[in-house]
Amino acid sequence: MAGWGERWRVWLVAGALSLLLAACATPHKIIGPGNEAAFDRTGRFAVSVNYHDSRQDAVQGGFAWHDTGSELILDLANPLGSTLARVQVLPGLSVMTRSNGEVERAASPSALVAQVLGSPVPVSGLRDWLRGQTGQEPVSGLHKDAAGNVETFDQAGWRVALSRYDSLGPRLLKLERDEADRDISVRLVIDGD
């Protein structure tokens, strides 16, 4: 019986460490300047890339999303909670500041995030998808759940599945994209607003 008690303590400590690491993986909510109303979400992301030559890449971590409509701020953190980069999107300008202080600019926020993660992530589409909407670009294969929430669709080369809705939108987003040399999968789990 002593062996069982010792194993129980090991499992308890391992579980506590897992919870601690999971909590650290999500960056703190972003507090924006001014009084402008914002759409805020925090959570975890996982991006996996399976190349057709059998290579695989994966990155995971946490994110904090702060979107006022006129400005978007996206913080990306590694699994231990250290900031990888901050992406700031203004009309016509996207700026990425890496944790080492390097700054890059581009017109597309998706291109900047791809530089950080090494794979494309549809940041522009996420502005709508995080709210449970499809946005302006053409959509095919649209399905809704029994409550009328957007559930699955294809848009801009991505297969999108949204589920576990709360009052702000989906709490689970699964995105998949097939390219000529690789298949990309992105999973976002919302922890909070």
Number of structural domains found in the chain: 1
C-alpha torsion angle, residues 5, 6, 9, 13 (rounded to 10): -160
Distance CA 46, CA 92 (A): 28
H/E stretch holding 65 reads strand 56-67
pLDDT over 90 at 119, yes or no: no
pLDDT over 80 at 118, yes or no: no
Report the candidate in 46, 111, 41 with the shortest Cα–Cα distance to residue 72: 41
**Is residue 17 one of the residues assigned to a domain?**
no
CATH of the domain at 175: 2.50.20.10
Domain extent, residue 184, equals 26-192
Q: Token digits for 92?
A: 């016509």
> Comparing 122 with 52, which gets the higher pLDDT?
52
- Mean pLDDT, rounded, for 138-154: 97
**Is residue 8 one of the residues assigned to a domain?**
no
pLDDT over 80 at 189, yes or no: yes
**Is residue 175 one of the residues assigned to a domain?**
yes
**Is residue 155 one of the residues assigned to a domain?**
yes
Summarised one tens digit per residue, pLDDT across range 161-174 is 999 999 999 999 99
CA-to-CA dists, residue 71 to 12, 30, 54, 110, 183, angstroms: 43, 12, 39, 15, 31
**Is residue 10 one of the residues assigned to a domain?**
no
**Is residue 9 one of the residues assigned to a domain?**
no
**Is residue 48 one of the residues assigned to a domain?**
yes
The residue behind tokens 């040399």 is 181
Q: What single letter denotes the amino acid at residue 51?
A: Y
Task: Give pLDDT, residue 35.
Answer: 57
The residue behind tokens 């294809």 is 154
Distance CA 158, CA 128 (A): 13
Summarised one tens digit per residue, pLDDT across range 3-49 is 544 444 434 333 333 333 344 455 666 665 555 689 999 999 998 99
Summarised one tens digit per residue, pLDDT across range 49-99 is 999 999 999 989 999 999 998 899 989 898 888 888 888 998 888 898 988
Q: How confident is the model at residue 103 (pLDDT cuts 50, 70, 90)?
A: very high
**Is residue 13 one of the residues assigned to a domain?**
no
